[in-house]
Chain A
Amino acid sequence: MSWARYLEELDPRWIYLLVFIVIAIPILIPMPSPLAITQYTGDAFETIENLPPGSLVVLSFDYSGANPELHPQAIAVMRHVIKRPLYVMIVGMWSDGPIMAHQIWKTIDKTGYDPENPSQIITKEYGKHIVNLGYLATTALIVGMYDSITENFSEDFYGNPVTELPLIQKFDGIKHAAVVVSFAAGSPGPGTYLQYWATQKPEFHKFIVGSPAVSAPGFMPYYEAGKAGEIGYVGVIVSLRGAAEYETLLGEIGLTGATAALNAQSAVHYLLVIAVVLGNIAYFMRKYGGEER
């Protein structure tokens, strides 16, 4: 059997073994990873960083437990909005999303600057500084909550009456939100918010999307539009790398575990390129070496 044929007909289990080794070594032997900050992540970070104290940020958890690319992003952004003197409202267009937010809220560092007295560091309180409204089951709810939350929700994610929550008394509607961040694994995703919320007051609301690597190209036309001041996204956090960049910008390296995983990701990227090149070499050797398939 020629080398070309051997390479072309290689048992895929050898490739799986190689992938396993290439992922395992960088995880078992941690090393510092160089990281350049992309403009997509930088813009997302700066948008939240430059919000005036007391602004409202909506975090939409539009993914389930299956998305390890988005969860680290959500942890980093949640920490950022808690750290800054901001108010936070959590929703989710995926039924598992608010559960993911609950998991983060249970364990995250809750200290941050007081939105009412921005020079003072406090421990953020549920109900006063942050609220989890839960799953947005219907489009009617998404449309309705723009103008009023109390008219569309009776309880929050934990079963508390929304009318008793100080944050909802202060901001009764998404119309008060300065920034909406959607961590989107698929559909429904942030496009729904652009359609129903961004069109209402485009000059006031800003939108950021956290995306898996595979979906990022689809968001880029809207990112270009957002940068130009049109309805779109002002920042895009892309995959695990975006999460690592975000925690680096935040100055809390190690917060999400993304930075530690970057070497494994780099190694797999290189392996993919080597695999594609080798596969093509084998293909051309067979094609021009006289062996027909």
Chain B
Amino acid sequence: MGISLADYRRSIPLLLAFIFGLLYAFEWYVDIRIGDFSLSSFLEKEMLRYFNAMYSIAIGIGAINIFRIHYRTVSRRRPYWEFSLLVLILIPVMAIISTLGGRYAIDPKGEVIPKAVYDFFNPIWNVLYWKVMSIINVMMFALLGFFIISAGYRAFRARNLDSAILLLAGILVVMGQAPVNAAVWPGFETIKNWLMDVPNVAGRRGIILGAAIGGLAYGVRVIFAYERRPTLAGGE
């Protein structure tokens, strides 16, 4: 009975997850030194480089996905397909302008690409970045204020004891954070600081510790192949 290609496709990702997962976890706790050479720091640095390469590839995959999704929306004339068309046009346009004339341009000194190319694209990039993208970003951020107040009005209800406590704590923190309250009643400030420093810190610590322990348990499951989804070895 031979080993099929499907077996390899399942077992190789699991084996890689086991080797590198164990190695990375191991180097964190045990420093193996041979003279001045530290195996742990070598592994940490080298493996981080590979991780970074993989992150970069993931960005490329993300870009391809964006194009696939929006292309499908445009070709099938789904609702708001016009916005998808804008995405399809503007992403490559901005990418090209940024590469040739942006702050991180590929050759701003004109060593390989003629300097005229950078000089042509740089003013366009300046307008698109500072007068369009930056302004749109700020506008989107500013809109949040309108939505938060509207949402607070329509949805933040004291329906039961838990939500009533949350509501009261929220109102006290907001009142304490409003700068003018120092003149209205300094007690708001004291209450806000207590809420932030005591119940908030206690709750956050619980969440942080819980998430860390959960992450550790998940990591162990991945390394020992109890969890197969991250490696796609489960057949998905």
Contact = CB atoms under 8 A, between A and B. Distances in A.
B65 interface: no
B138 A66 contact: yes
Interface stretch (A11-19, A51-59, A164-172, A176-184): A11-19
A84 to B, nearest CB: 26
Contacts of A10: 153
A217 B45 CA distance: 33
A244 B179 contact: yes
A35 B178 CA distance: 9
Nearest to B204: A221
B51 A139 contact: yes
Interface string B46-63: 001101100100000000
A1 B142 CA distance: 34
Contacts of B9: none
Contact of A19 (B145, B167, B208): B145
Q: Chain B interface mostly helix, strand, loop or mixed?
A: helix
Interface residues of A, number: 59
A233 B146 CA distance: 32
Contacts of B189: 36, 38
Contacts of B204: 217-218, 220-221
Interface in A198-241: 213, 216-218, 220-221, 224, 238-239, 241
Contacts of A271: 149
Contacts, number: 143
A272 B186 contact: no
A226 to B, nearest CB: 12
B149 A213 contact: no
B145 to A, nearest CB: 6
B138 A213 contact: no
Q: Chain A interface mostly helix, strand, loop or mixed?
A: helix
Interface of B: 44-45, 48-49, 51-52, 55, 103-104, 108-109, 129-130, 133-134, 137-138, 140-142, 145-146, 148-150, 152-159, 167, 170-171, 174-175, 177-183, 186, 189, 193, 196-197, 200-201, 204-205, 208
A19 B200 CA distance: 29
Interface of A: 8, 10, 12, 15-16, 19-20, 23, 33-36, 38-39, 64-68, 95, 98-99, 102, 135, 137-140, 143-144, 159, 213, 216-218, 220-221, 224, 238-239, 241, 244, 262-263, 265-266, 268-273, 275-280, 283
A263 B44 CA distance: 50
B137 to A, nearest CB: 3
